[in-house]
């Protein structure tokens, strides 16, 4: 939005923290980084209208992304139905990318997040305020 004050939070959306390679039962299957909800209060996951990621300039297929929050693992395709899952602003979501190779320790990667999210208390009769937040960070693999 042209004059949105919320935009000032966008630079915090991809969290400044190292990328970690992830395992399940000791078997590597991808890597993860953290995502911060970019406004002054939290939101319901059902208010996320679009969320995608690019790593080193390449779009990560949505089906290869897991969204972890509140101790649970969600698929991106499940988000619109999650009207009872609240994303608190001090709880960063963990984004896991399924990538069997993982990423090389010590390497640096460009991580971009794009999120279109509805502000549920603005506007009426379906005419809600919608924010588009983007953030790119250079993150090192730990």
Partner 1 sequence: MSKDIKIGVSIYSFTYFYDLKLMDLEDLLRTAHEMGYEGVEIVVAQMAPEYPNISDEWIAHFKELLDKYELHLVSWSAYIDMGLHPDRDLTDEEICEHTRRDLILAKKAGADLVRTQHAIKPKNFRAMLPFCKQLDMKLCIEMHAPHHPDVPVWKEYLEIMAEPESEGYLGVVPDFSIFQYAPHKQMIENYLRDGFREDKLNAVIELNKERLSAEEIIATDDFTDYEKNVIVDIVGHFQSPAKLEDLKKLIPYSPYIHGKFHFLDENCHNPCIPYEEIIPMVKELGFKGYIASEYEGWDEAAMEQLKRYVTLLNRLLED
Residue ranges binding partner 1 (CB under 8 A): 2-3, 5, 8-9, 12, 40-42, 44, 46-47, 49, 80, 83, 86, 88-91, 118-126, 128
Could you identify the residue written with the tokens 């300039």? 57
CB of 64 to partner 1, least distance (A): 23
Which residue's CB is nearer to partner 1, number 29 or number 52?
52
Which residue's CB is nearer to partner 1, number 1 or number 140?
1
Q: Report the distance separating Cα 25 and Cα 3, nearest Å.
A: 48
Give the strand pairing for 58-59 and 48-55.
antiparallel
Which residue's CB is nearer to partner 1, number 100 or number 124?
124
User: Nearest 5 degrees, angle CA 78-CA 66-CA 26?
Assistant: 140
């Amino acid at each position: 939005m042209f004059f949105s004050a919320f935009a000032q939070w966008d630079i915090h959306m991809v969290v400044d923290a190292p990328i970690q390679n992830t395992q399940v039962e000791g078997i590597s299957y991808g890597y993860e980084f953290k995502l911060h909800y970019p406004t002054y209060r939290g939101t319901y996951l059902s208010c996320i209208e679009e969320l995608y990621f690019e790593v080193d300039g390449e779009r990560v297929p949505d089906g290869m992304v897991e969204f972890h929050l509140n101790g649970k693992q969600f698929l991106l395709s499940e988000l619109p139905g999650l009207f009872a899952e609240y994303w608190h602003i001090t709880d960063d979501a963990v984004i896991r990318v399924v990538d069997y190779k993982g990423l090389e320790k010590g390497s640096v990667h460009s991580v971009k997040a794009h999120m279109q999210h509805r502000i549920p208390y603005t506007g009426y009769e379906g005419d809600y305020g919608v924010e588009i937040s983007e953030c790119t960070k250079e993150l090192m693999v730990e």
